[in-house]
Amino acid sequence: METKFQFQQPLLIILLILIARIQCISIDTNLLRTQAKNLIDAYESKPTDAILFWNAVLLNAAANDYDNSIADSPDQAGPTTTSRAFAIIHGAMYEAMNGFERIYISMYRPSSMPATYDVPRAPAVEAAITEAAYQTLYALYPKQRELFTQTRNNFIKLVRGDSSDNAGINKGILVGKLLALTILESRSSDNSQNQGTYKLINQTGYHQPDPTHPDQPFLSPRWGTVTPFVIQSGSQFRASNTVGNTLAGRRQFLRSEKYISDYNEVVSLGTRNSQTRTADQTEVGIFWGYDGAPKLGVPPRLYNQVVRVIAIKKNNTLQQNAQLFAFVNYAMADAGISAWETKYYYELWRPILGVRQGSPTTRAIPNWLPLGAPADGGGDNFTPPFPSYVSGHSTFGSAAFEMLRLFYGTDQFQFQFQSDEYNGATKDSITGRVRPNRTRSYERFSQAEEENFLSRIYLGVHWRIDQEEGRTMGRKIAKYIYDKLT
């Protein structure tokens, strides 16, 4: 099979192991042990496969990352770093499976890869996937190591069962660990730690902090320089220059019919107490939120939950699940890099600034408030801390939904999805009440994609052009990756 990278096992791998074992801060380990037991119990009551099991562990960890009782601050803060973590973890599981099956294109293959044809595949493959997931989770979410260790040890016992095939299990663990450390090594110098500082452009039409949250930081200002997983560079699919990348170009855009139309739409539909936004539109806006709220996390978790529902309903094989989740998460990781490159290249202001300040062709509404990204009891709703153009939600979501269309060869698929924004436990910051359970139904992937697209307009945190260009970008990235890896 074709490979993208070849690696030795230098001192860096040893250092990665040592760093991963550094003592982390005191947390509620009893809670993590309980979660580990619950994950195993759920698997035993309704078995899936190793990919779906460890995807469930990852989704649990990503929610924990935004739970103050477990993590005083996230290990993976924001959608950018989270999308990278998801891609590493699912990429490692994919490579571990493929190390035995050898049926798909491999992106990471160490030069010292041991032979895998000399042991029975079934227990070896599941052990390899388990160890790959464990090693990457352990490295990327260090505050939750107790959860991963307990879960890994108990799941290996289930994989082993009554079998006397210790050789297969041991070979699987060896291969899974080797491939996980290979991927971690390859990403250790990807520029993800070099985010620097952001210098504001104090001009009309340019990004500023949300005035209702003036101490807001600037999330991942140099994420566009991170080495992509599959695409060539963060600028490969940069959005069009419609909004202008010079002061003159920006002034021209702010006078355009497109900007006036987008302004009028967001004032009509995105105002906090809008009289034109319907109850269903409000629900759609919140349903696709996941803006770093407590116990919900960020968009990559949301779209993985959607993909999980579809994979289970499709009754995928283990091999198909390994490929699907790796491809979706590679696409979202590269979508994050590409979207953030565009965001900080153009630095377009958000509606809360554009509406409050006005422009030569639009009226200023000084105290205007959007419905806002749902804070879910973690404070007041807000506008996200990065430029508007393009929308991260639209780019991440369209990358995921386009990959689903490509993977299954159709847009037609009936499914239902319940968002954690409406799970009967999440509290609304505006009303102060717990939101009810809500499940939404879809006939096509594009129907769900369109809701995701519109949701940010209904929240008043994006212009329509952000959504349009993000959708185009996400779809292009998914197509590029699918063509490259199949």
Q: In whole angstroms, give the CA distance from residue 486 to residue 482.
A: 6
Say yes or no: 181 and 303 in one domain: no
| 13 closest CA partner among 180, 136, 185 | 185
Looking at residue 44, its pLDDT comes to 96
C-alpha closest to that of 387 among 343, 331, 436? 343
Whether the bond between 390 and the residue before it is cis, its omega within 30 degrees of 0, is yes
pLDDT greater than 60 at residue 5: no
CB 212 within 8 A of CB 380: yes
- Whether 209 is in a domain gets the answer no
pLDDT over 90 for what percent of the chain?
A: 86
Q: Is the CA virtual torsion 293, 299, 300, 301 positive or negative?
A: positive
Beta bridge partners of 58: none
CATH number at 154 reads 1.20.144
Domain boundary among 187, 215, 249: 187
State whether 141 and 274 are in the same domain: no
- Asked if residue 298 has pLDDT above 50, the reply is yes
- CATH number of the domain where residue 430 is located: 1.10.606.10
Mean pLDDT of 292-300: 97
Same domain? 347 vs 412: yes
Of the given ranges (10-19, 146-155, 393-402), which has the lowest mean pLDDT? 10-19
For residue 132, tell me if it sits in a domain: yes
Phi and psi for 235 in degrees, rounded to 5? Answer: -95, 0
Give pTM, 2 decimals: 0.93
Residue 141 token pair: 């979410």
Instruction: With beta carbons less than 8 A apart as the criterion, state whether 473 and 335 touch.
Output: yes
Q: What is the pLDDT of residues 366-386, one digit of tens each?
A: 999 999 999 998 889 999 999
Structure tokens at 266: 């967001």
Residues 270 and 410 in one domain: yes
**Band of pLDDT at residue 195, cut at 50, 70 and 90:** confident
Residue 217, domain member (yes or no): no
Residues 233 and 374 in one domain: yes
Exposed / middle / buried, residue 31 (Cβ in 10 Å: 0-12, 13-18, 19+): middle
pLDDT digits 0-9 by tens, 237-277 = 999 999 999 999 999 999 999 999 999 999 999 999 999 99
pLDDT band for position 11 (cuts 50, 70, 90):
very low
- Band of residue 26 on the pLDDT scale cut at 50, 70, 90: low
What would the pLDDT profile of 326-347 be if each residue is shown by its tens digit?
Answer: 999 999 999 999 999 999 999 9
The structure tokens listed for 469 are 């260009």
Residue 227 sits in the same domain as residue 183: no
Same-domain status, 181 and 227: no
Hey, is 19 helix, strand or coil?
helix
Q: Is 171 found in the same domain as 296? A: no
Range(s) of the domain holding residue 127: 5-19+32-187
Whether residues 406 and 358 fall in one domain = yes
Q: What is the pLDDT of residues 170-191, one digit of tens each?
A: 999 999 999 999 999 999 999 9
Asked if residue 195 is part of any domain, the answer here is no
Give the C-alpha separation, 277 to 268, whole Å.
Answer: 7
Q: Are 148 and 294 contained in the same domain?
A: no
Q: Domain check: are 162 and 259 in the same one?
A: no
Domain boundary among 164, 187, 210: 187
Residue 287, in any domain of the structure: yes
Tracing tokens 């959607």 back to the chain, one arrives at 306
* Same structural domain, 180 and 241: no
> What mean pLDDT is reported for the chain?
94
| Domain count for the chain | 2
CB 198 within 8 A of CB 225: no
Q: How confident is the model at residue 21 (pLDDT cuts 50, 70, 90)?
A: very low
In which residue are the tokens 């799970």 written? Answer: 423
99-102 contacts at long range (C-beta below 8 A, 24 or more positions apart): 99/128, 99/175, 99/176, 99/179, 100/124, 100/125, 100/128, 100/172, 100/175, 101/125, 101/319, 102/1
- Alpha-helical (H) ranges within 121-195 are 121-140, 145-160, 166-187
Q: What is the pLDDT of residues 42-78, one digit of tens each?
A: 999 999 999 999 999 999 999 999 998 888 899 999 9
Report whether 195 contacts 223 (CB < 8 A): yes
Look at residue 324 and tell me if it is in a domain.
yes
> Does any domain span residue 48?
yes
pLDDT over threshold 70, residue 302: yes
Rounded Cα–Cα distance for residues 40 and 7 (Å): 34
Last residue of one domain, picked from the residues 132, 160, 187: 187
pLDDT band at residue 2 under the 50/70/90 scheme: very low
- Within 13 Å of residue 158, how many CA atoms lie on the same side as its CB? 21
Instruction: Return d(Cα 282, Cα 284) in angstroms, integer.
Output: 5
Please check whether residue 213 lies inside any domain of the structure.
no
Helix/strand/coil for 417: strand
Query: What are the backbone dihedrals phi and psi of residue 293, each rounded to the nearest 5 degrees, phi first?
Result: -75, 155
